[in-house]
Amino acid sequence: MNTLLTSVSVADEEGYPILDASTRDLVGYAPKRTTADLEVLIKTATTAQPGWAVLGHAERSRLMNLVADEIDKHAVELGEIITAEQGKTGGQGEAHGAAMWLRSAANTILDTQVLADDGTTRSELHYAPLGVVASIGPWNFPVMITVWHIAPALRMGNTVVVKPSENTPLSVLALLGIFQRFLPDGVVNGISGDREVGAALAAHPGIAKIVFTGSTPTGRRIVESSANNLARLTLELGGNDAGIVLPGTDIESIADKLFWGAFMNSGQVCAALKRVYVHESLYEETVAALAERAKNAPMGSGHDKSNRLGPVQNPSQFDIVSRLVDDARDSGARIAAGGEPAPELGPLFYRATIVADIEDGAALVDEEQFGPVLPVIKYSDVDDAVRRANGNDQGLGASVWGPDVEEALRIAERMEAGTVWINQHGGVDPSIPFGGTKASGYGLEFGVEGLKAMAATKVIRR
């Protein structure tokens, strides 16, 4: 029996059903809460915040490390819920990753900064808690990204109210239950519910900061909702990440990294490689190498650890993936691998798909597919490839692939993205700041910059 699951699942009449992404079997019932419940939680968090702040960094860090240890102890149970709800083949790995990120936030040092000291006067920059921080999370990495949101907030003395995605609430509620075992009452609060609850949370005058990971359209609505209370925002929005493969690249040496940069978590990663521009001299070789990997990557239920690719998480996203591939095919693009559902595996499985002979202007190139599909676009001039890569309104991540690192660095400096990887794509580190540009959002997460984003600055002069 999964005790974490039973601790958060409610009776059917009290909640709404959550289905296994692979099998569509019932996982459990998530509590269906209302805006009235939200009011209670925000008041609770507001009351708890001063006591949590006064504990100080050392004590807060100690308690957060205890939580991280407990997450690791329950990683198998928590991973089972993640895999069931989300469909991924690495649920347990996500749980361990969440523990690692929590420790990083707990142990990162943020010192008071001395701005000036001439022996007569001294000015210092201090970082104070904001108050109550709202976390509105996505369904692709429900547990990991919740920790990304709340760990720095807690470390800096804020309390939190977490609204998970309607698609993956049980794993997040189970995670928050672990936090609540060690932290004072009211410091960590979770509420599952519909979009009305999320909108009310974003607009609530008691919220000092909102952290959101999700689509650009929803991010825009959050900006609008937060205008009246002037809540601070960190928004990590859509990312139609581009990669450029330079002439002279040894394709076989990069093909695995190129493929998994696009297909990790079946492409359901904000900073996954979503479109790749390949020089004409390497084009057919690249398409063939990616197609071979797409055809051979083990796909199936995430509960079977031998699989590498799981389903698309929900029917709405499955329809988007299907529409974009069908549009590309109908417009004359070449389907080098996949290009269709895999119903024998389950209703939400879509075969790993490589699309060739496609150009900018096609919906599959211009829109973020967020699924197991990669368009490969041919170019002849590197400057033109950079222009086309930058032509999209999103700018979360990008990558440059080539044998000459110095040349790749020069091109990376021209890419309009929050992070540019060289000969890799999508890797993140808890100590290295991460955030987007343009319509991919603003604000930084992780490391010292992530802690600063959860604090109010205060200058003290004496």
Predicted pLDDT at 1: 81
| Of 80, 270, 416, 449, catalytic | 270
Q: What residues form DSSP beta bridges with 378?
A: 278
Whole-number mean pLDDT of the chain?
Answer: 97
| 182 three-class SS | helix
Predicted pLDDT at 229: 87
Identify the CA nearest to 159 among candidates 126, 181, 190. 190
Say if residues 312 and 372 touch (Cβ distance below 8 Å). Answer: yes
pLDDT for 10 beyond 90 = yes
- Rounded to the nearest angstrom, the gap between the alpha carbon of residue 188 and the centroid of all alpha carbons in its chain is 20
Q: Give the model's confidence band at 181: pLDDT under 50 very low, under 70 low, under 90 confident, else very high.
A: very high
For 217-267, the pLDDT digits (tens) are 999 999 999 988 899 999 999 999 999 999 999 999 999 999 999 999 999
CATH class of 3-237+440-461: alpha beta
Q: Give the model's confidence band at 372: pLDDT under 50 very low, under 70 low, under 90 confident, else very high.
A: very high
Respond yes or no: is residue 270 known to be catalytic. yes
Rounded CA separation 350/327 (Å): 15
User: Mean pLDDT throughout 397-415?
Assistant: 98
Identify the CA nearest to 110 among candidates 159, 61, 148, 52. 61
Predicted pLDDT at 228: 86
- Which regions of the chain carry the CATH code 3.40.605.10? 3-237+440-461
For 199-215, the pLDDT digits (tens) are 999 999 999 999 999 99
Single-letter amino acid code for the residue at 376:
V
Predicted pLDDT at 18: 98
The 122-129 sheet, strands edge to edge: 113-117, 122-129, 455-461
In the numeric block, the tokens 């003290």 are attached to 460
| Of 77, 85, 236, 449, catalytic | 236
User: Mean pLDDT throughout 359-387?
Assistant: 98
Q: Give the model's confidence band at 368: pLDDT under 50 very low, under 70 low, under 90 confident, else very high.
A: very high
High-pLDDT (> 70) share of the chain, %: 100
Rounded CA separation 49/42 (Å): 10
User: Mean pLDDT throughout 131-142?
Assistant: 98
| pTM more than 0.95 | yes
- Which regions of the chain carry the CATH code 3.40.309.10? 241-422
Rounded CA separation 340/345 (Å): 12
Cα-based torsion angle of the residue sequence 141, 147, 152, 156 in order, rounded to the nearest 10 degrees: 150
Count of Cβ atoms closer than 10 Å to residue 203 Cβ: 18
For 253-311, the pLDDT digits (tens) are 999 999 999 999 999 999 999 999 999 999 999 999 999 999 999 999 999 999 999 99
Q: What residues form DSSP beta bridges with 335?
A: 355
Rounded CA separation 269/432 (Å): 18
Give the CATH architecture of domain 241-422: 3-Layer(aba) Sandwich (3.40)
User: Mean pLDDT throughout 130-144?
Assistant: 98
Rounded CA separation 318/353 (Å): 13
In order of 22, 55, 234, 462, the CA distances from 26 in angstroms are 11, 42, 34, 62
Respond yes or no: is residue 39 known to be catalytic. no
